[in-house]
Amino acid sequence: MTGPTISAALRTRVRRQARQRCEYCQTPEWITGLVCEIDHIIPRAHGGSTTFDNLCLACSACNAYKQAKMHATDPETGQEVPLFHPRRQRWHEHFAWSESGTLIIGLTSYGRATIEALRLNNVEIVAARALWVGVVWHPPQE
């Protein structure tokens, strides 16, 4: 689906707000060396606009798993709930880091559903986080 071009100024604003890290899994670009993508929080396929309030920074893995999803099932309650919204919700109210610093823990139904839908604790990223913890690069500090 082709949509409106995102201006350089808007891209810069989104990247600055995100502090150059994925707004879902919190992985900083400098750790991976990969530039994050601009994600439509409410996908254009569902009527989402190309405005600051609907754009966030997402790593390629989170963006690929999210696709056009807006909702997912909370594994604890079995209820379908909206995914975490980086512009309307605060990350630390819905997620926390495990004691080891390698797993993202869902604190709310939004957090738990987002962890499952975007596979925020997939085997590859958890292994990478373990290496980053070992060199004191992770978890990201506020």
43: preceding bond cis by omega (within 30 degrees): no
pLDDT in tens, 104-136: 999 999 999 999 999 999 999 999 999 999 999
Q: Hey, what are 6's tokens?
A: 């995102």
Residue with tokens 């899994």: 25
Whether the pLDDT of residue 1 is over 90: the answer is no
Q: What is the pLDDT of residue 75?
A: 98
Q: What is the pLDDT of residue 3?
A: 63
Whether the pLDDT of residue 140 is over 90: the answer is no
